[in-house]
């Protein structure tokens, strides 16, 4: 809570913010430095993310056990077999994924062949698009002349 001397200083224009262009120049320089730090951290995180995508694309296997099940069903579907089987069938397998996961993976496999890389493209492209759309959204939401407006 402000005491009376602080309130009177703000009202009378004797506060540091009203001290003139020198104070504003200091705030502007400080905000620019903070913006540069956050920009550098964001760029570092983005390049790290790209390296993870690259390493996973070149990894000879899947990290998640469910990926192989999705790939098998996607490949079966684009080969003309049913995506889901009746529970009385020998090859019935209960999965927790809807048809969109299989269809999107199947599209990439139909376009690029039946390789592990082609089966990973759906996830890799989705992750990259998520980062791009998130950056566009953040820019639209948080755009201002001052990075300090994000915390105040």
Cα–chain-centroid distance for residue 110?
Answer: 27
pTM above 0.75, yes or no: no
CB 81 within 8 A of CB 74: no
Find the Cα–Cα–Cα–Cα dihedral 95, 98, 101, 107, rounded to 10°: 110
HEC letters along the chain: CCCHHHHHHHHHCCCHHHCCHHHHHHHHHHHHHHHHHHHHHHHHHHHHHHHHHHHHHCCCCCCCHHHHHHHHHHHHHHCCCCCCCCCCCCCCCCCCCCHHHHHHHHHHHHHHCCCHHHHHHHHHHHHHHHHHHHHHHHHHHHCCCCHHHHCC
Question: Residue 68 has which token pair?
Answer: 């192989």
Q: Can you give the residue ranges of every domain in the chain?
A: 1-58, 62-152
Q: What is the pLDDT of residue 90?
A: 87
User: pLDDT digit of tens for each residue in the chain (152 aa)?
Assistant: 455 554 444 444 455 555 555 555 655 776 677 777 887 888 899 899 999 999 999 999 998 888 888 998 999 999 999 888 888 988 888 888 889 999 999 999 999 998 999 999 999 999 999 988 888 777 766 665 555 455 54
Maximum Cα interatomic distance, the chain, rounded to a whole number of Å = 85
Question: Residue 18 has which token pair?
Answer: 């009203």
């Amino acid at each position: 809570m402000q005491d009376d001397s602080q309130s009177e200083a703000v009202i009378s224009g004797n506060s540091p913010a009203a001290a003139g262009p020198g104070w504003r120049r200091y705030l502007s320089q400080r905000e620019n430095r903070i913006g540069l730090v956050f920009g550098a951290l964001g760029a570092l995180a983005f390049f790290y993310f790209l390296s993870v995508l690259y390493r996973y694309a070149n990894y000879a296997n899947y990290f998640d056990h469910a990926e192989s099940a999705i790939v098998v069903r996607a490949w079966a579907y684009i080969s003309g077999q049913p995506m889901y089987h009746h529970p009385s069938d020998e090859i019935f397998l209960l999965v927790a994924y809807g048809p969109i996961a299989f269809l999107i993976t199947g599209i990439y496999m139909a376009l690029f062949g039946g390789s592990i890389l082609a089966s990973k493209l759906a996830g890799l492209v989705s992750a990259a698009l998520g980062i791009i759309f998130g950056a566009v959204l953040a820019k639209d939401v948080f755009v201002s002349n001052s990075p300090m407006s994000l915390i105040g």
